[in-house]
Structure 1
Amino acid sequence: MPIRIRHRLLYTALLGSTAVYAQDYHLPEVQVRGPRDAAIGSADSASEGAAERESFQSRPKLRPGDIVEAVPGVVATQHSGDGKANQYFLRGFNLDHGTDFAVTVDGMPVNMPTHGHGQGYADLNFLIPELVSGVRYRKGPYFAESGDFSLAGSASLDYFGVLDAPFAEVTLGGHGFKRLLAAGSRTVQDQTWLGAIEVEGNNGPWDVPEHLKKVNAVLRYSQGSPTRGFSITGMAYKSSWTSTDQVPERAIDSGELRRFGSLNPTDGGKTQRISLSGKWFDKSADGDTQISAYAIDYRFDLFSDFTYFLNNPVNGDQFEQTDRRRVFGAQASRSMVNKIGGLDGLLSFGAQWRGDRIGEVGLYQTEARQRLSTVRNDKVTQDLFSVYGQQLLNFSERWRGYVGVRGDMLRYDVQGREPVYGPVNSGKGHDAIASPKAGLAFTVTPAHELYLNAGVGFHSNDVRGAAITLDPQSGLPADRVPALVKGRGAEIGWRFQPNENLTVTAALWQLKLDSELVYVGDAGSTEPGRASSRRGFEATLRWKIDRAWRLEADAALSRARFRGLAPEGEGNYVDNAVERVFAAGLTYIDGPWTTSLRLRYLGPRALDTTNTVRSRSTTLLNFGTRYAVNKNLTLGLDVFNLAGKKGNDIEYYYASCTAGEVVSGACNGGVDDRHVHPMEPRTARVSARWTF
């Protein structure tokens, strides 16, 4: 196949937001397939790819957000209730709830800027994992179509356009877990309707039952062929829960608190998300075009208590964070083959707009979910306008490369409604940034390929921080932060692929940020911090051993440090920055059996900037199996934390004060300690699926 044609087909079938994925639109005779993984001759870096569907669908998932662990090096944990966004780790980052890790579902962004709980908040609890047809990923700021929050990486989750057959599934598990899922599609000529509904409840292992109540629904209409068509999708999600947040380890060690106990039984929250989106695509010999738009209505209330009685010895330190917003967006992209100086190439370009209309983003002091005072109550409008272009050229049979540039402009308007500090913390502004990108690939042999990538990216800050004048907690002057913060990254990579059954990749990377976003325990949010530098090494193995067995293994090592002279009393370690991640999975698919065994290791990391206090490592082993009794009935068993390890999903180090310490006079301005949220004990779930 000529290089020009080969690249056009691979680009339009595999990589990037300018590419168009024919998710089996919608003809019965089209085999249901996901996106192909990156391959020699088509990949632009060693750290991009697409997870194999059999792998991410067969692996057991304790929570919907666990599906992002299909991205090599990503760890998803939880430090609160199951209605709250996961905690993510990748490439030397504690990504909090999504900062610097951009996630999209069916083309819609999940990350929320200027969010009530933290910048870039990415809640995937509305996801129905069984509907996910593909997980595509990229790491690093090397690609022009990657925008806000994608400095460490990005994951694109696609939904099916058509299902093999309608089904209903019931799942029951320990600690009161109950789930019902029904989904199906119907195709007439080139028109397809797809629908799914999910109902879930869970108490969890916690001494204070979680009382999770969740309802989720998807409805999609698609029309067209694999080369031209459109789809309209509606989603609706609502949940409420009581959460057990992280607790001081000293309370567990002393026996004051059980391992799964809570210091505030009224913590928890509720959230809902309703969206409508549409896509139109056209794939032709001249090029590929895609246009999409979306509208999201989002509501969020969260009650948290991380310091207990440190700041308010009488009423306690519980606070409420709220977010009421509507999100609108549109994007258009085009990719087309071209020639420059006689060289075959591929030109990709596009434009994007996202508008957040935040009716309320607030912070309130509360006791038992009753408001005591208002810290902040803001109305915010912000728009991000983006354009990008990228040109790939084939210099020879062995050399190819690309250059690209992205431009982003953010406009914002903050209107403070808290009567004391709201007016002085209001303001309008704008910021803009240009992000050049480049990459080079060299095919050493048909089985070996080398890559060099570099680029500039960015993350946005909470625009309330860009307009602030006085700290609403203390009334003291506050420093404003830039609305957009630049990051610079580079990577050297290698891919070994002797055949379609074996792929090995390795990458050496580095990333420098002008401002680190740091988790603040007593506010439950992120704040801008010092400039930082990261570097690391990653390796992956994907091996289809034979017809039935598949092996996956990932390793990620990283080093994260603040740059410059450390302030007095501080060091240069980036606290809670992940240092070592190892993961492995073994999958068996043959006849009626599908079985998966997954191992994940998260190594120790510095919990303070001086590296005086370090977290403990955690090792998690999950097992899942499915047996097709006949063409209609499939039985399943998932066992989470198979080895029964007593690790922690998250550890932080900061000062807090319990009620007992207040009474005894032991508080003295706060007790510095580890604060932990234990990972769940060994838990089993059984399921039965009836296919119609």
Structure 2
Amino acid sequence: MRVKPILAALAGALALARPCHAEEPEVPEAAVVRVGGHYDNAVGTSDAASQGTITADLIANRPALRTGEILEFVPGMIVTQHSGDGKANQYFLRGFNLDHGTDFATYVDAIPVNMRTHAHGQGYSDLNCLIPELVQRIDYKKGTYFADEGDFASAGAAHIRLANSLPQGLASLSLGSYGYLRGVLADSVKAANGTLLYGLELNRNDGPWDLPERVRKYAGELRYSQGSRDDGFDLTAMAYRNRWNATDQIPLRAVESGQVGRFGNLDPTDGGDSARYSLAYGMRKRDGDGQLELNAYVLHSTLDLFSDFTYFLADPERGDQFEQSERRTMAGLDAAQSWSATLGGFEMRNKVGLQTRYDRLAPVAIHVTAARTRTATVREDQVREASAGLYAESAVRWNAWLRSAVGVRYDAYRFRIASSIAGDSGRARDHIVSPKLSLVFGPWNKTEYFVNVGRGFHSNDARGTTQTRLPDGGPSSPVTPLVPTRGGELGVRSEAIPGLQSSLALWRLDIDSELVFVGDAGETAPSRASRRTGIEWNNHYIVRPGLLLDLDLAASRARYTRVDPAGDAIPGSLDRVASFGVTLDAPGPWLAAVELRHFGPRPLIEDGSVSSASTTLVNLRAGYRLRRNTSLSLDIFNLFDKKASDIDYYYQSRLTGEGPDGVNDIHFHPVEPRSLRLTLAHRF
């Protein structure tokens, strides 16, 4: 498909819209509701029932065991870990085991968090660089219906927006179980006609593991801004460094035999070292009824990750530890122009945008190691991956009860790989067109109805696009660079009951090529096409000022669509999620929050004969305001000390004394036992 005819047709369609100076249609003030300052999900503010915003108030009032759990504020999302706390989390949403981020796009302001062609896994999303106290809000979307969402966004996307200023400075110190220590210092001050915000975080943690985790984390942010969110600019520098030991998943048979305890390990030298440094510029400029947005960023990151999932299956003497290593430089530029117009007397809001990104990996490699010492190189690649996405969308209000949003995006990718494996070097390219459509009916009795359809995609690892040989010398065929996805959704959102925001969505998502965890390599590989269907019901209710209840329920079904004797169940696919939260932040000295989260069993192999158990956990926070600006809070994680799994896999591994073929077994990473954290916070 040629680019020029597409762009010409797109330009022609937009030319039909005559620029005008009529204001963009606004939702009447009485219809806009912010539930306790925690949500901006009111009727009339979104194009899908599964779209919304979480504000900083709720983030600050709920306990989180790990930084990455900030994404659990997205309804239906589960965040776990199968390794050390310096590694990206494991994510589950809409019937997906998203691994470390594939098919869910995450951004910190304009910077993509998902790393393509990553040493550990495609779409790797490490949020440990984030300081949660500096987050202003989280804008989330689910599905393939949004023209400004591209790679990795088929299941959904989260845009984590950083604050330009803080209402007060913050100094906090947290002490907890298992050697936990965390300190945060942050403030914003007026400087040179703008605002300068700074934040620093120091974190130490050994965890409950038999091998102390020895997390040593440093994070910092410096941000200068002028103007407003709609008309101004910001310049942000972020820095992050983390070192840790890891207790990876362990085989069930080793625990049942007493070889190791639940919090034990089989390779005490697993762990890693990660760093991330970024500089980003964002600008918004209003001109009458139009607005120009421009974002540019550059990022440098490094990772050395040591893992051993199969123990002595490949090497009975030294073990199977391997190192995944990369050195990445990433840069990007995003620009968008929006403006009001009329078409046949109907009010329109148009937007066109360009999103570019360039990744340079020098190198990305996998090495065989023993006790973190390299003994051989499996493969080492120099990768250049560039992409450009052009999108356009038009939102039209046809009458008082019907509006529509029509969009299309075009994405083009270029890959260049120089590999240590003969025959795997080369170039590849691909492109894809993704149309989108949303219809919104209402409101009637403060209730809206949604119909959404669209096409999306995810990119595959660049190394696979030119691969003709495997590391062991066997033949291989190149993978499809860009894999199409197709989704649809029927939804409703209502505020008919005073104080209650409720939404219901029925959805479906088809993927032309699934990504599946391969246990013996600790990586993902392309597999059969799949279909997921599900239902989500989200509720946020103000009982009275200062008291908020949340109830989010989700059920899904995930199956391969191509017949295979192995079965049609998708390993790791999540069938149900339930979360219930209570937040008390009323006037007076006391504050409290409790959160229950449940995620159901997952099939671990295709025929469904082996499954994980479900996991239900409760976290609690109780706090007291010692003075107007000083508070003391106690967080209790896993309140009832449940013995459950954060994640389970089923694959082949070999322990000392076992036969050369090893044993197929469940390998699990336990949830952490009950732990306490006490935080003293002062605002100044």
Q: Which TM class, normalised by the smaller chain length?
A: over 0.9
Distance 1:519 1:504 in 2: 35
Deviations 1:515-566 (A, max 9, x none): 0011111222211111111100101001111112100011110001111121
1:653 CA displacement = 0.5
1:410 CA displacement = 0.4
The structure 2 residue matched to 1:266, chosen from 266, 269, 288, is 269
Which residue does the alignment assign to 1:67? 70
1:594 CA displacement = 2.5
1:189–1:301 distance in 2 versus 1, CA, 3 Å: closer
Tell me the SS of whatever aligns to 1:65.
helix
Which residue does the alignment assign to 1:610? 607
Which residue does the alignment assign to 1:599? 596
Which residue does the alignment assign to 2:666? 674
The structure 2 residue matched to 1:649, chosen from 619, 640, 646, is 646
Which residue does the alignment assign to 1:145? 148
Which residue does the alignment assign to 1:436? 435
The structure 2 residue matched to 1:483, chosen from 477, 481, 484, is 481
Does structure 1 conserve the Cα–Cα contact (< 8 Å) formed by 2:290 and 2:338?
yes
1:4 CA displacement = 7.3
Distance 2:617 2:267 in 1: 28
Which residue does the alignment assign to 1:234? 237
Distance 1:481 1:132 in 2: 38
- Runs of at least 5 residues in structure 1 that lack an aligned partner in the other structure: 15-32
Tell me the SS of whatever aligns to 1:482.
coil
The structure 2 residue matched to 1:495, chosen from 493, 496, 500, is 493
1:587–1:34 distance in 2 versus 1, CA, 3 Å: closer
1:37 CA displacement = 1.9
Distance 1:355 1:160 in 2: 27
Does structure 1 conserve the Cα–Cα contact (< 8 Å) formed by 2:229 and 2:284?
no
1:39 CA displacement = 2.4
2:541 is equivalent to residue 549 of structure 1: no
Which residue does the alignment assign to 1:461? 460
1:4–1:262 distance in 2 versus 1, CA, 3 Å: farther
Which residue does the alignment assign to 1:637? 634
2:576 is equivalent to residue 584 of structure 1: no
Deviations 1:391-445 (A, max 9, x none): 11111100111110000000010001x2xx2x31111011000000001011151
Which residue does the alignment assign to 1:175? 178
1:95 CA displacement = 0.2
Distance 1:648 1:538 in 2: 24
Deviations 1:557-588 (A, max 9, x none): 0001111121x4x1011111010000110000
Distance 1:206 1:148 in 2: 36
Distance 1:226 1:106 in 2: 12
2:339 is equivalent to residue 336 of structure 1: yes
1:39-438 matched pairs, under 5 angstroms: 39-188=42-191, 190-416=193-419, 418=420, 421=421, 423-438=422-437
Distance 2:378 2:209 in 1: 30
Does structure 2 conserve the Cα–Cα contact (< 8 Å) formed by 1:227 and 1:284?
no
Does structure 1 conserve the Cα–Cα contact (< 8 Å) formed by 2:208 and 2:263?
yes
Distance 1:140 1:162 in 2: 32
Does structure 2 conserve the Cα–Cα contact (< 8 Å) formed by 1:44 and 1:439?
yes
RMSD: 1.8
Does structure 2 conserve the Cα–Cα contact (< 8 Å) formed by 1:35 and 1:134?
no
Which residue does the alignment assign to 2:517? 519
Distance 1:607 1:481 in 2: 25
Distance 2:192 2:661 in 1: 71
Deviations 1:112-137 (A, max 9, x none): 00000000000000110111110110
The structure 2 residue matched to 1:683, chosen from 664, 672, 675, is 675
Q: Which amino acid aligns with 1:110?
A: V
1:7 CA displacement = 3.8
Distance 1:225 1:648 in 2: 45
1:4–1:608 distance in 2 versus 1, CA, 3 Å: farther
1:9–1:355 distance in 2 versus 1, CA, 3 Å: farther
Does structure 1 conserve the Cα–Cα contact (< 8 Å) formed by 2:22 and 2:289?
no
Distance 2:191 2:667 in 1: 56
1:42 CA displacement = 2.8
1:453 CA displacement = 0.3
Which residue does the alignment assign to 1:19? none
Does structure 1 conserve the Cα–Cα contact (< 8 Å) formed by 2:407 and 2:437?
yes
Which residue does the alignment assign to 1:508? 506
Does structure 2 conserve the Cα–Cα contact (< 8 Å) formed by 1:4 and 1:345?
no
1:52–1:233 distance in 2 versus 1, CA, 3 Å: closer
1:403–1:365 distance in 2 versus 1, CA, 3 Å: same
Does structure 2 conserve the Cα–Cα contact (< 8 Å) formed by 1:414 and 1:427?
yes
Distance 1:237 1:650 in 2: 27
Distance 1:121 1:354 in 2: 16
Tell me the SS of whatever aligns to 1:560.
strand
TM-score of the superposed pair, with normalisation by structure 2: 0.94
Q: Which amino acid aligns with 1:657?
A: R
Identify the range of structure 1 (280-289 vs 669-678) with the bigger mean alpha-carbon deviation.
Answer: 280-289
Tell me the SS of whatever aligns to 2:496.
strand
Does structure 2 conserve the Cα–Cα contact (< 8 Å) formed by 1:45 and 1:493?
yes
1:5 CA displacement = 4.2
Distance 2:55 2:240 in 1: 27
1:345–1:258 distance in 2 versus 1, CA, 3 Å: same
Deviations 1:30-59 (A, max 9, x none): xxx989623222321110001243222211
Tell me the SS of whatever aligns to 2:253.
helix
Which residue does the alignment assign to 2:570? 574
Does structure 1 conserve the Cα–Cα contact (< 8 Å) formed by 2:23 and 2:289?
no
Q: Which amino acid aligns with 1:407?
A: Y
1:103 CA displacement = 0.3
Q: Which amino acid aligns with 1:462?
A: D
Tell me the SS of whatever aligns to 1:307.
coil
Q: Which amino acid aligns with 2:280?
A: S
1:435–1:500 distance in 2 versus 1, CA, 3 Å: farther
Identify the range of structure 1 (374-383 vs 340-349) with the bigger mean alpha-carbon deviation.
Answer: 340-349
Q: Which amino acid aligns with 2:474?
A: L
1:668 CA displacement = 4.2
1:446 CA displacement = 3.2
TM-score of the superposed pair, with normalisation by structure 1: 0.93
Identify the range of structure 1 (427-436 vs 623-632) with the bigger mean alpha-carbon deviation.
Answer: 623-632
Distance 1:209 1:435 in 2: 48
Distance 1:445 1:344 in 2: 21
- Runs of at least 5 residues in structure 2 that lack an aligned partner in the other structure: 1-20
Distance 2:173 2:528 in 1: 49
1:691 CA displacement = 2.1
2:619 is equivalent to residue 622 of structure 1: yes
Distance 2:235 2:26 in 1: 27
Q: Which amino acid aligns with 1:537?
A: I
Does structure 1 conserve the Cα–Cα contact (< 8 Å) formed by 2:285 and 2:293?
yes
Which residue does the alignment assign to 1:24? none
Distance 1:145 1:501 in 2: 32
Deviations 1:211-258 (A, max 9, x none): 110111000111124542111000000000000000001111111110
Q: Which amino acid aligns with 1:292?
A: N
Tell me the SS of whatever aligns to 2:178.
helix
Distance 1:438 1:500 in 2: 31
